[in-house]
Structure 1
Amino acid sequence: MSMTEQRDDRTRPTPTLLDQMGGTVGFVYSTIPVLVFVTANAFLPLTLTIGLAVATGLALFGYRLLRRERFSSAVGSLLGVAVAAGVVAWTGSARDFFVIGIWASLAGFVVTAGSLVARRPITGVVWNAVHGGRHPWRDDRVVLRAHDLATLAAALVFGSRFAIQQWLYVAESTGGLGVARVVMGTPLTVLAALVIVWAFRRSTKRLRT
């Protein structure tokens, strides 16, 4: 690496949490296929609805690549739409477009809540693993409390998503599921992530300085 490139790396601003999650426009990208699916389902046969959702995902994938966005973010969104559409095609039920996300939320809640009950909050376990697994983080009350709060924030997000969306799923409200997916998706993830980042930084400051 040349001296010029090294200077450029030092002066380049560190990506914020929002940037790492795709930026503000990333929120829009994550909701467009959902909105297309729900809207099309209200007027078109299920086969066409599935086709439109997948086509939208492909179009967004190509557009994001042209914009030179992160390939992992772009392909991740496309795969999510493709898998959800595949489940719908298999079951023949429009509401199943959301079923993977619903059960993923339940799994996330079980893991995070279970780690709190076991007094080993998962965010602390992850932080310690990232930093070599040698820190007595559970012996520090301040650090342990920070990870209790961070893991609780994640558990509340997962639990609320599952409870509300599963209720809408049982009620066969595909439109309601679409609204819930948008409202309870990236915005809640960002809020929980902010608490987790705070806990990580608090742990690093107390145990690695």
Structure 2
Amino acid sequence: MTSLDKPTTTNDQQQQDSDAKAVTEAALFEAFGGVRGMVETVLPGLLFVTIFTINKDLHISAIAALAVSVLLVAVRLIRRDTVKHAFSGVFGVAFGVVFAMMTGNAKDFYLPGMLYTLGLAVAYIATTIAGVPLVGLILGPVFKENLSWRTRNPGRKKAYAKASWAWGLILLAKCAILFPLYWWADTAQLGWVLVTLKIPPFLLAVYLTWVFLAKAPAPIDVFAEMEAEERAEKEREAASAAQRDA
């Protein structure tokens, strides 16, 4: 290797690293909803606690939160955007509204979401212990690697395990704050703490996921492999047909 080759190799490696980080950022943005997804997650709860803090009316607060959730879905449908994050928000708010209306306790508006957070934390940890970390199950299709990381890419599996541990522990820490407040605080206090804790833990978990994956080996594109195998099979069939005709 000449002295002229070394900078080129270094530059190529830096470019590959930069491309890998960009792909990881784009995948995380898509999988977890990005800025718009965060807004759609926070807005209904923020509206509920704001209205309830002002007038202490459970019905008006609940209806307003549900209405804005439905509106967010309608906007996405009109613009033909991805609706999975908005739909999940509607279902979450709807469960909260129904639960609060049934019990007559405004704090119960938040309980389904808190239980979901706890269940998700347990799922992240349990799947990691079982050898199929949830972050890998979520991001595998996004990176077009499906489950190839389980047996063919151990470095990537390790990164997914670290990321899943991070998500699980962060969500457990969030639950450790919220559940005592559910019992001890009033509705407004619980609501404002919950709204405050919506974004920072999420951003921390996404950042740690990005750090782990940016250092991991590149994903194996199983879709490209399947397409290559199909092309090779067609070429073999064409060659066999040509031999028969000869």
Equivalent AA in structure 2 for residue 23 of structure 1: G
CA-based RMSD: 3.3
Number of equivalent positions: 192
TM-score by length of structure 1 reads: 0.72
Matched, 1:113 2:125: yes
Q: Cα offset for 1:132?
A: 4.2
Q: What letter is aligned with 1:88?
A: A
| Map 1:32-111 → 2, pairs under 5 A | 32-42=43-53, 43-111=55-123
Identity of aligned residues (%): 24
**Cα pair distance change 1:31/1:171, threshold 3 Å:** same
Deviation at 1:135, TM superposition (A): 0.9
The correspondence for 2:159, drawn from 127, 135, 146, is: 146
Shift of 1:153: 0.7
Which of 31, 36, 39 is matched with 2:42 structurally? 31
Q: Which amino acid aligns with 2:110?
A: F
Change (3 A) 1:133 1:170: same
Conserved in 2, the CA contact under 8 Å of 1:102 and 1:161?
no
Distance 1:165 1:40, change over 3 A: same
Q: CA deviation at 1:130?
A: 2.5
1:164 and 2:166 equivalent? no
Q: Aligned partner of 2:84: which letter?
A: S
**Offset from partner CA, 1:173-199 (integer Å, 9 cap, x none):** 322332333332244224323433554
Structure 2: segments with no counterpart, 5+ residues = 1-21, 222-246
- Checking the alignment, whether the CA contact within 8 Å between 1:54 and 1:85 is kept in structure 2 is yes
State the secondary structure of the residue aligned to 1:205: coil
Give 3-state SS (helix, strand or coil) of 2:192's partner: helix
- TM-score, normalised to structure 2, is 0.63
Q: Which runs of 4+ in 1 moved over 6 A?
A: none
Q: Which runs of 5+ in 1 are unaligned?
A: 1-12
